[in-house]
Structure 1
Amino acid sequence: MREIKLSIFGFGNVGRAVVRVLLEKGALFRERYGVEFKVVSVADTSGVVWLPEGIDPREALIIKENFGKLSSWTNDYEVYNFTPSEAVREIDSDIVVDVTNDKNAHTWHLAALKDGKAVVTSNKPPLAFHYAELMKEAEGRNLPYFFEATVMAGTPIITVLQDGLKGDTVERIEAVLNATTTFILSRMEAGLDFEEALREAQALGIAERDPSGDILGIDAGYKATILHCLAFHPLTFDRVKRRGIEEITPEDVRRAQGRGNTIRLVAEIEDGAVTVEPREVPRTNPLAVESHENTAVIRTDLLGELVITGAGAGLKETASGVVGDIIKASMKLRES
């Protein structure tokens, strides 16, 4: 049985969902993969809780859910005021798990890799801006750097592009990659105006208090950038041509409906070019998804058209991608 030490950064909804999966399915993972996961540290914005012999993940969940911050956990554990870069260097772990929204996380991802640690992340900006540097560092050290959950939550589009099309040349990808905008546009089809639909999305927790990352196409742009890096070559987010849904009116929606179409925020990815913008698509088109689904239509020279549709949001769904990557990283570390 191989023990794998995890250092988890980010203990919000996704971080806690990941820990719950590790707890609930620990016996299965031991039996199926021969790995025992030990959480040696967890961190939120209030501090880092670290114990080399392993912390109690159940107690971490209780503290966070009852007190809202890990720094309240003072009875049995010391809370450290490490920066993430300090923490990844100081804490002895095998895999650094980043489920934060830290836009500068590439700095401590690189620090982790340089210190011989694998990295698993759901955090999009590091890859959207620093993909080439991160992958060069990981590959040069033969370390896992996995990021399935950055695009389409746990739906394995990253795996498909990395490992599933070895003999194919990707020609184009068209995708709907942001569930919040799909929800808003769907509610506008039901008769709401943009502001009403946005307020409903916020009330349901589908949209953030500051929804700009979704409605301006930034989130979809990050994801499309990552797909371009995989399908073609490294490209950075500042090269994306982007227009969000904030100017879509009920009249636009009704006109599209009258033509048998629907409006969705579509990312088009071709070699050297990424565009994110609202487009009319026929109701029969795979891009006409509903609810929290995402979809990608991948066209290759040999396979033709491959459609991947699945959950693009949700806690369990995102945890699926993160935990799957933790297991993959563990298997690779075991081989090395």
Structure 2
Amino acid sequence: MKGIRLSLFGFGNVGKATAEVLLEKEAFFRERYGLKFRVVSIADTSGVVWLPEGIDLKEALMVKETFGKLSAWTNDYEVYSFTPEEAVKEIDAEVVIDVTNDRNAHEWHLAALKDGKAVVTSNKPPLAFHYSELMEEAERRNLPYLFEATVMAGTPIITLLRDGLKGDTVERIEAVLNATTTFILSQMERGLEFEEALRKAQGLGIAERDPGGDVLGIDAGYKATILHCLAFGPITFDEAEVRGIVEVTPGEMERAKGKGKTVRLIARVENGKVTVEPREVPLNSPLAVESHENAAMIRTDLLGELVIRGAGAGLKETASGVVSDVIKAALGLRRN
């Protein structure tokens, strides 16, 4: 059985979760799909570990857990100081996996595609700003470029819009796409001020130390832009109208509650228009989600209203989307 060579960029929480799934479900992937994966390189911010015959993932995870960086792994492996673009050109892999937050990753995604490599990513800015360029390059070279984990973690909204509604015309999508803001708004519903709710979210690890991407609506805007690209055609994040939750008050939450509603950060995607803003939704709406759930209401001409709801965050959940795409990419390459 020929192994599929993988090059993994990013070995933070999502990267480690992806490696754990590849390790733990190795036998399942072999039996179910006839696929054997071989991770030939792993990159974190300290350097790139590269071994053509395959890296011991169990050991890699142990080194990262113990020392916090791959560059500490000097006994058995050489650590290289490649840039990502140098790494994708130098390292012989069939699938490049990007689970970083590199805003300029589109440059090395393109380099990978031009070098004949498939790309799987959970990184949103490359698609939110460079969707057309990336997809055109992938199509020109007949290579998979897959990004399920960019929106709703592993809940397969990307697959649904890309492959599942071939005969339908999408008319509108309304969605809650950011779990951090849902948690903060839920706490404000209980009477907390925004700053108190944010501190609580940060204390629980739900919000980042720098929460701007979430609370200003940028993360949801990236995701909504990607959904527009799939459902209606390419736009960029610069064309989206985005307003976050920083100005929402407990009083507004209380007034909504009195009307049998709640406030959520809602992304609305229509042909040529993306808006993200706090909006009141009825308590019985699919968009009145709690915890780390995301939900999307997709209206089409044939199906009417379709609701997809599931985890929009979480390490295993995001790894599910990444690994699903890795399998699709591998099967696609095998067919070519």
**Normalised by the size of structure 2, how large is the TM-score?**
1.00
Distance 1:192 1:176 in 2: 21
Taking the TM superposition and a 5 Å limit, the aligned residue runs for 1:167-206 are 167-206=167-206
Taking the TM superposition and a 5 Å limit, the aligned residue runs for 1:225-236 are 225-236=225-236
Distance 2:249 2:155 in 1: 31
Q: Which amino acid aligns with 1:51?
A: L
Q: CA deviation at 1:192?
A: 1.2
List structure 1 segments (4+ residues) > 3 angstroms apart after TM superposition.
none
Match of 2:9 in 1: 9
Match of 2:93 in 1: 93
- 2:279 equivalent to 1:279: yes
SS in structure 1 at match of 2:93: coil
Match of 2:224 in 1: 224
Match of 1:315 in 2: 315
- 2:250 equivalent to 1:250: yes
Q: CA deviation at 1:190?
A: 1.3
- 2:116 equivalent to 1:116: yes
SS in structure 2 at match of 1:294: strand
Question: What is the RMSD of the two structures over their aligned residues, measured on CA atoms?
Answer: 0.5
Taking the TM superposition and a 5 Å limit, the aligned residue runs for 1:1-336 are 1-336=1-336
Q: CA deviation at 1:193?
A: 1.1
TM-superposition CA deviations, 1:206-248 (whole Å, max 9, x none): 1000000000000000000000000000000000001000000
Distance 1:118 1:237 in 2: 24
Q: CA deviation at 1:2?
A: 2.9
Distance 2:152 2:5 in 1: 27
SS in structure 1 at match of 2:310: strand
Distance 1:225 1:216 in 2: 15
SS in structure 1 at match of 2:66: helix
Distance 2:205 2:140 in 1: 41
- Residues 113 and 137 in structure 1, CA contact (< 8 A), matched pair in contact too: yes
Stretches of structure 2 that go unaligned for 5 or more consecutive residues are none
Q: Report the count of equivalent residues.
A: 336
SS in structure 1 at match of 2:309: strand
Q: Which amino acid aligns with 2:322?
A: V
Distance 1:248 1:2 in 2: 55
Identify the range of structure 1 (130-139 vs 185-194) with the bigger mean alpha-carbon deviation: 185-194
Q: CA deviation at 1:3?
A: 1.0
SS in structure 2 at match of 1:7: strand
Distance 1:137 1:150 in 2: 19
Distance 1:282 1:295 in 2: 14
- Residues 124 and 222 in structure 1, CA contact (< 8 A), matched pair in contact too: yes
Q: Which amino acid aligns with 1:175?
A: A
SS in structure 1 at match of 2:255: helix
Distance 2:176 2:35 in 1: 36
Q: Which amino acid aligns with 2:194?
A: F
- Residues 5 and 40 in structure 1, CA contact (< 8 A), matched pair in contact too: yes
TM-superposition CA deviations, 1:32-79 (whole Å, max 9, x none): 101100000000000000011111111110110110001000001010
Q: Report the identity percentage.
A: 77
**Normalised by the size of structure 1, how large is the TM-score?**
1.00
Q: Which amino acid aligns with 2:249?
A: T
- Residues 2 and 34 in structure 1, CA contact (< 8 A), matched pair in contact too: no
Distance 1:258 1:333 in 2: 55
Q: Which amino acid aligns with 1:43?
A: A
Stretches of structure 1 that go unaligned for 5 or more consecutive residues are none
Distance 1:61 1:143 in 2: 30
Distance 2:66 2:248 in 1: 41
TM-superposition CA deviations, 1:231-274 (whole Å, max 9, x none): 00000000000100000011111111111110000000000000
Distance 1:328 1:242 in 2: 33
TM-superposition CA deviations, 1:88-119 (whole Å, max 9, x none): 00000000000000000000000000000000
Q: Which amino acid aligns with 2:292?
A: H
- Residues 2 and 334 in structure 1, CA contact (< 8 A), matched pair in contact too: no
- Residues 3 and 36 in structure 1, CA contact (< 8 A), matched pair in contact too: yes
